[in-house]
Amino acid sequence: MAVHTANAPAAETAVKKESKLASLARFREMGLLAFIILLAVGVQIRNPSFLTVENVVDMATNTAILSILAVGMMLVLVTRGIDLSIGATLALSGMLVAQIVSANSSFSPLLAVLTGIGIGIICGLVIGGLVSWIGVLPIIATLAMMNIYRGFTYMVSDGKWISSYQMPESFVGIATSSVFGINTLILIALFIYASAYYFISHTRTGRQIYAVGSNPESAKITGISEKKILMLVYTLMGGLSGLCGVLWVSKFASAQGDTASGYELSVIAACILGGVSIAGGSGKLGGVILGAVLIGILNNALPLMNVSPFWQKGIEGTIILVAVLLNVAVKRGVERNHLLRRRI
């Protein structure tokens, strides 16, 4: 009897056709890539200056910071968390480092980058502590710390901007110089991808992050310390935000109180487009980078196609909503097909 009732829903769904959408799931990243290529071809037809070397390099440098942050955000999302404070952390680290280098121009660029990362790590440690040791919900903890870090940024800057003429050449060079003909920002981003790939796929700790995200209870029983993992991902996120703060200030040659305000939403959007599940446990590096590239292309291509800048937000919102809903539809199709297979 019990067996019969358990089979009933399966038999019911078996009447339905096999979902065609499900085949998309296997090629999620490919689908995203195909969409990006289609978009690029479309834009290229409308405006031939889109796929010039100059514009592509420009686009890559503009996307580098977004994609670095997206890599960190992916790890946070994988553990079922969210970090809304990264824009504020970025601004705080950028502002503090800009003040240091404008006060003594002999400050070495490498030291500036390390200082930025250090500030970011401290910011991340505070959030990690709140989330893992005290057990505050990530969205609330990062919301509160976002306010606090943003307030600190305004306080230390006293409402003033630090502009390019106050920064030494060497500091601005961090993001604008090039090595072997390739912009340093792109090189830094590639380095981050490579180390993230190694960390996620080939180290024990990297796999533990996914274990905690997909099933915290089992992870705990397996002997993984959830607290340490949470601490780690928020600290990593903070460190990456700190790094990006220095890169941002160096790239745009200006540090302001409202630097990168609301940027966290673009980063989260890139992750969602890249197929990271907000429910935790799943997310691929390749997808996230493609998601960031897609947002970068949109930001670059819409002005080239003479689309009014005021349409940009609306288009971005529509694409995110459609991508997220399509993702769910695909997943439902996959599950339906699994039920079909079970009947045989």
**Contact set with another protein (CB under 8 A):** 82, 130, 134-137, 139-141, 143-148, 150-152, 154-155, 159, 257, 262, 265, 268-269, 272, 278-279, 308, 310-318, 320-321, 324-325, 328, 331-332
Least distance to another protein, CB of residue 269, Å? 7
Least distance to another protein, CB of residue 335, Å? 10
Closer residue to another protein, CB minimum distance, 159 or 181: 159
Distance CA 99, CA 259 (A): 14
SS3 259: coil
Closer residue to another protein, CB minimum distance, 194 or 321: 321
Closer residue to another protein, CB minimum distance, 119 or 174: 119
Distance CA 184, CA 190 (A): 10
Closer residue to another protein, CB minimum distance, 165 or 310: 310
Least distance to another protein, CB of residue 137, Å? 5
Least distance to another protein, CB of residue 187, Å? 31
Least distance to another protein, CB of residue 152, Å? 7
Least distance to another protein, CB of residue 145, Å? 7
The encoded tokens of residue 62 equal 């503009």
Q: Write the CB contacts of 155 (distance below 8 Å, at least 6 apart in sequence).
A: none
Looking at the DSSP bridge assignments, the partners of residue 255 are 162
The encoded tokens of residue 80 equal 């079922």
> Which burial class, exposed, middle or buried, applies to 239 when counting CB atoms under 10 A from its CB (0-12, 13-18, 19+)?
buried
The span from the first CA to the last CA of the chain, in angstroms, equals 20
Say how many C-beta atoms besides its own lie within 10 A of residue 147's C-beta. Answer: 13
Closer residue to another protein, CB minimum distance, 9 or 317: 317
Place of tokens 């019911």: 12
Closer residue to another protein, CB minimum distance, 87 or 239: 87
Q: Write the CB contacts of 294 (distance below 8 Å, at least 6 apart in sequence).
A: 32, 35, 36, 39, 270, 273, 319
Least distance to another protein, CB of residue 200, Å? 22
CA dihedral 111, 116, 117, 121 (to 10 degrees): 130
Closer residue to another protein, CB minimum distance, 85 or 250: 85
The encoded tokens of residue 162 equal 């630090």
